[in-house]
C-alpha cells in the first residue's frame, strides 16, 4: 500500500485517516495520464458523501454507517480509462484504501 496525506478544505462528512492506494491503483496513477486526478477527485467525493456509482440501497447504508462508525464504501468509474475503483474507509476511520474491485 502507498500512503498519501489527507488534503482539501471542504467540509468532510467523516475522517479519512491514512489514505492508501493498492499497488494496482498506484501503478495506474503512474502509467495512465489523468488517473491520479481521477483517484484524488474520487477520494474527495467519498469524504463529502458523494458515494459514486452505488445502488440507492448501498448509498442509504453509507448514510446509516456515518454515525454508527461502520465501514463506508464508494465506487467510481473513470470515463477516460474505463477503470472502476473502490474507496473504502474503515469503521474506526483510521484508514481509507483505494483499490480495484478485483484486488479486494
For residues 98 and 1, the model is more confident at 98
> How many other CB atoms sit within 10 Å of the CB of residue 37?
12
Q: Does 52 reside within a domain?
A: yes
Question: Range of 64's domain?
Answer: 16-103
- Is the predicted pLDDT of residue 8 greater than 90, yes or no? no
CATH code where residue 51 lies:
3.30.2310
Residue count (the chain): 104
77-91 as b/e: b if 16+ CB within 10 A? ebeeeebebbbbbbe
- Cell numbers of 64, please? 446509516
Q: Does 2 reside within a domain?
A: no
Q: Does 1 reside within a domain?
A: no
Interatomic CA distance for residues 71 and 92, integer angstroms: 8
19-76 tens-digit pLDDT: 999 999 999 999 999 999 999 999 999 999 999 999 999 999 999 999 898 999 999 9
Q: Does 3 reside within a domain?
A: no
Smallest CA-to-CA distance from 72 within 53, 42, 104, 47 is with: 47
pTM for this prediction: 0.89
The helix/strand count (H/E) of the chain reads as: 3, 5
Amino acid at each position: 500500500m502507498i500512503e498519501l496525506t489527507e488534503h482539501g478544505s471542504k467540509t468532510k462528512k467523516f475522517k479519512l485517516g491514512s489514505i492508501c492506494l493498492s499497488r494496482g491503483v498506484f501503478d495506474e496513477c503512474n502509467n495512465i495520464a489523468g488517473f491520479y486526478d481521477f483517484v484524488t477527485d474520487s477520494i474527495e467525493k467519498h469524504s463529502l458523501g458523494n458515494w459514486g456509482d452505488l445502488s440507492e440501497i448501498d448509498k442509504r447504508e453509507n448514510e446509516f454507517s456515518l454515525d454508527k462508525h461502520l465501514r463506508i464504501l464508494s465506487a467510481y468509474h473513470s470515463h477516460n480509462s474505463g477503470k472502476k475503483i473502490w474507496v473504502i474507509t474503515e469503521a474506526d476511520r483510521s484508514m481509507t484504501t483505494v483499490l480495484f474491485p478485483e484486488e479486494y
